[in-house]
Every structure is written in structure tokens, then in C-alpha cells.
Amino acid sequence: MNAGSSLPPSPAWEDLVTAALLGTDRRTPPGTAPGRSAPSALLDAAAAETVRRRAGLRPGPAAPRPRPAPEDPRPPLPAAAARRLALLLADRPGTAQGGRRGTSPDLIELLPQWLASVNDRGFAAPPESLPALLDAARARTDLRPAALRFAGPRALWLARLNPDWRFALRASPGSGMALPGPEETLRVEQLWQKGLFAERVSLLAAIRSRDPDAARELLKATWPTERAEDRLMFLDSLRTGLGPRDEPFLEQALADRSRNVRATAAELLSALPQSALAARMAVRAGACVAVDHTLDTPTLLVEAPHECDAAMERDGVSPKPPSGRGERSWWLGQLVEAAPLAGWPARLGGRTPEQIVALPVADDWLGELHAAWCRAAVRQRDADWARALLGPPSAPGAGGPGAVSLAERAKLLGTLGAAERAEWVAGFIAAHGLSEAFQLLGICAVPWAAPLGGAVVDALNIARDAGSYPWSFSGVMGLAERCLDPSEAARLDALLAVPDEPEDASPGAGGYWAEAFQRLCRTLRLRAAMTAELEVRASAPCGAQ
């Protein structure tokens, strides 16, 4: 008998199982008289047989002890911050009675910000917190990058021992194995040639971040033999450090047998304003848009393409439009989106982007043309065109005609610097209130700059005094708890009392507003305390008393 194996099933055991399945009324257990005592006798016989079978097992060899967890060289977390982490991880979201959250801060929503702060400071996670930290990252995928970075190499060690935490191994290419350095050319070559796909992606990204040319040459060496889906992922890594020296390789990728690879190569080339593809797109798009000076007011005339030829397809123009979209408008949008924005002033009479956007557009092409310019401004990171398309934040509709949706406005704002972005959104809130501001607030740097934070607090105060339906602002309140500068807490003290409710106010609105402002104030002060805890470097490990 091999060590660790069990005895083969005996006839007695099989008879007992059969009797249990059929019932003692239909099958009397062996060695038992039929009647009311048969069920008890069956259980007694099964217990005795179980003991006999277990006694026949031979002890298996002891499993080797796991290798010790690797050391984490980072400094330990200060004691107060370690206690705070335990509280954050112990919090579980619940449903408050009546849908109200009360005045207590929502700790679980502060965990992502806390993790970002602790990672910026380079602390190591306390070993005793790692299981709860991994459980939290398992439940929330948005936490995983920051949580695994904070958890460090010991999290990977634990993940190999618990199947529930295997996501940490998948999220960490190489399973904690350090990537080769720039001088380790042999290891780089071996990992690139024989590594797992996730390891190769990680390696290519790491090399691209420090030496774009070396990464591109590494990719070129195996490009013809890669699978289409792998080529697409590898090509996407060239977004980091994209430059003119990548153009010859990307031009070759325009002839790839995969449509998705061709489209990605064309998109990358269109982000290089001096590329040959950008020049070709500029000629095509320029032939579609011109200024008509015969009218009383100069007007843009649009003549969309009548066909999508093979050359256009090779340069990334998709010939088949989505459902409900006309072919010509679909082709026009792709051409204008890929054409360098810097060439339009010369083609349209030396006008600035603001002047071009202000021109009327004939035959209802305005929305299509401006939407394509919006996408081009985002792709090419052109702040001048983004400002022109956004328009002043106080304008009717909160922007130029090209900003047809809040999503597009948010993308255009992303091309601006953090201070300018916050100032524009503050002006938008001051002019239009908070009803449409939620998506715009989400792209502003945290903590919010003083003008933006002040605009949010003022708008919430106005909504409260107007007796507005309070639950419609719960999303903005949640953002404010995480994004307002903690120094704004002092301004909120005057808003903590229950206000007098206007006659037409929602029932109970005053109490809700008071709770919301109390929770906001407490959360801001808690965030300030959390930051202060991280600034204190403990002289002893975090578990010391």
C-alpha cells in the first residue's frame, strides 16, 4: 500500500451505503434485524466501519516547510498609521436605515486614497495586515494595483499558499521575479524569447520606459512570429515614449494581416504630427473642408468623401460605419480626427483655432466636424484646440459646439494642466451649478484646488438653501469627501446645523443636508489626521507599544 492511500472499499461498507441510499425499510443492513431499530443499527455499523477504515491509513510523509517569506526592505509603517490601516480594512459597507448614511465617514471609500499616500511615502505593509489587505483587493479590483504595491513581495509569497489570492500572481508578471536590468542583455533575451506572455509584456513596458529604441528593436526581432492578439498588446506598449523614430516600424505595421493591429498602428502614427500618415490624412481632410467667402459671413463648407479606397483603409480608415451612422460622415470623422490640428490654420485662411471653431458650418456638418476636432485634440494633446472647443465655462451649453457631451468635455479638459482644469470646472459650476458637474469633477486633480473646492462648497450651500432635493447631490457629496482639501473643513462649520426648510422643500431635506455636511466635515478632518499619521516616522516597528 502506498503511503497516504486508503483501504479499498470493503463489501460491508458498500452494503451500508446501499442500505442508506435505499432506506432501511427496503434494504436491511447486513447483520441487522429488520424493524424500528434498523436505522440506529445502520448508523452504529457505519461509525464502526469508518473507524476501521481510518485506522487502515498509513501516515503520509510530512510536506516540506515553505521557504521563508522574502524581506521587505522598506521602512515600517508608523504605529498610528498601522492602527488606522486595521480600521480601514475592518470597515464593511452597509446599507443605512432609510438609505441615509448618517454622519460617520465611509472608511472603505478612503482606503484607495490612503493606499496612494502610503505608497508615495514608500512604507512597507505590516505583516499582520497582509491577509485582510489581500482580501480587500480580491473584492475590489480597483484597489489591486495600489494594494499589491503596498503589500510588497510578501503578498506574492502568501498568494502562492492560498488559491483565493492567486489574482496577485496574475497581476504581477513574473510572480515577483525582478525584471532584468539594462545591462543584463542575456537575461533580457531569454525572458523575451521564452517567458510567459505577461512576463514579456511587463519586460517590454519596462524597457520602453527607459529606452524606447531598445524596446522597439526587441519587438521587431520577433514581430513576424507573434500571434495577432499578442502583436496588438505589444504594439500598444509603444504609446509610452512614442516618437518619430517609431514611424518606420509603425508604417510597416499598417500592412499587418490583423485589422486591429493596422488600426492601432494608424492611430499611433496620427499622434505623430510630422509622420507621413499624418501628412496623407491632412491632404485628405483638407480636401473635405474649405472656407466659402461668397456668403455675407465666411462659412465652412464640407464635402465628405464619396468612397473609402484601399489607400484610406491601409491608413486606418474603417470602411464600415456603426449601425445608424452614414458612411460619408463616418469616413469624414476619421479623416479629420487623424489630420494634424496644426495644419488647419494655414488651410483655413490663417485663422486661430478659436476663430475656426467660431465659423458657421454649412449643411448641418457642424456637429460631425467639431466632434472630430474634439477627438483630434485629445489624441494629439493639443491644449490650444481643446480650449477653443471647450469655450468659456460660462457659455450657454458650457462650451463650444464641438463639446457635444460631458464625456467629450471631460476628455478635452484632460489635455489642460491641473490648475487650468480646476479653474475651468470652478467657472462651470459657478455658472451652471452642480447638476452636470459630476463627470467633470472626476477628472480634476486631488485634492481640489482652492477655487474649485470653494465653488463646490458654495454650490452645495446654495442647493441646500434653495430646498433642493438633497439625495440628487449625494454623488457630489461623496466626491467632496474624498477630493476636497482637508483645510476646507473650517469653512463647513457654519453649515452643520439643521436649516429652516422652505415650504416647497423636500420633507426632511434640512436634516439630510445637516447630516451630509457633518459627515463631510468629519471626513475631511479624518483625512487630515490620516495624513499626519503618515508623516510621523516611528523609531520602532509599527507593532511596538
Count other C-beta atoms under 10 Å from residue 210's C-beta. Answer: 11
Average pLDDT, the chain: 86
Q: Torsion over CA of 196, 198, 204 and 209, rounded to 10 degrees?
A: -150
DSSP string, 158-187: HHTT-GGGTHHHHHSTTTTPPPPPTT-HHH
Mean pLDDT of 499-522: 77
C-alpha cell, 536: 510621523
* pLDDT at position 10: 55
463-491: pLDDT as tens digits: 888 777 777 888 899 999 999 999 888 88
Mean pLDDT of the region 262-276: 94
Angle (CA) 489-89-440 rounded to 5° is: 50
Top pLDDT among 60 and 164 is at 164
- How much is the pLDDT for 176? 44
pLDDT band, residue 22 (cuts 50/70/90): confident
Q: Of 44-53, 131-140, 502-511, which range is least confident?
A: 502-511
Residue type, 211: D
pLDDT of residue 202: 84
CB 509 within 8 A of CB 467: yes
C-alpha 511: how far from chain center: 35
Q: Confirm if 389 and 344 have CB atoms less than 8 A apart.
A: no
Q: How much is the pLDDT for 413?
A: 95
Q: Which secondary structure element, helix H or strand E, spans residue 292, and what is its range?
A: strand 289-292
- Percentage of the chain modeled with pLDDT above 70: 89
- Enter the pTM of the model: 0.75
Return d(Cα 268, Cα 330) in angstroms, integer.
20
Residue 500 has a pLDDT of: 65
CA distance 512 to 17: 63
Question: How far apart are alpha carbons 392 and 430 in whole angstroms?
Answer: 12
Q: What is the pLDDT of residue 399?
A: 47
The predicted structure's pLDDT at residue 269:
96
Q: Give the N- to C-terminal CA distance of the chain in Å, as an integer.
A: 55
- CA dist list (Å): 183 to 180, 214, 219, 272: 8, 12, 18, 30
Neighbours of 537 (CB within 10 A): 11
Q: Are 252 and 216 in contact (CB under 8 A)?
A: no
The answer to whether the beta carbons of residues 16 and 29 sit under 8 Å apart is yes
Convert the pLDDT of each residue in 77-119 to its tens digit: 999 999 999 999 987 654 444 455 677 888 888 999 999 999 9
Stretch (H or E) spanning 53: helix 38-55
Q: Is the pLDDT of residue 171 over 90?
A: no
* Per-residue pLDDT band at 313 (split at 50, 70, 90): very high
pLDDT over threshold 70, residue 447: yes
pLDDT attached to residue 92: 60
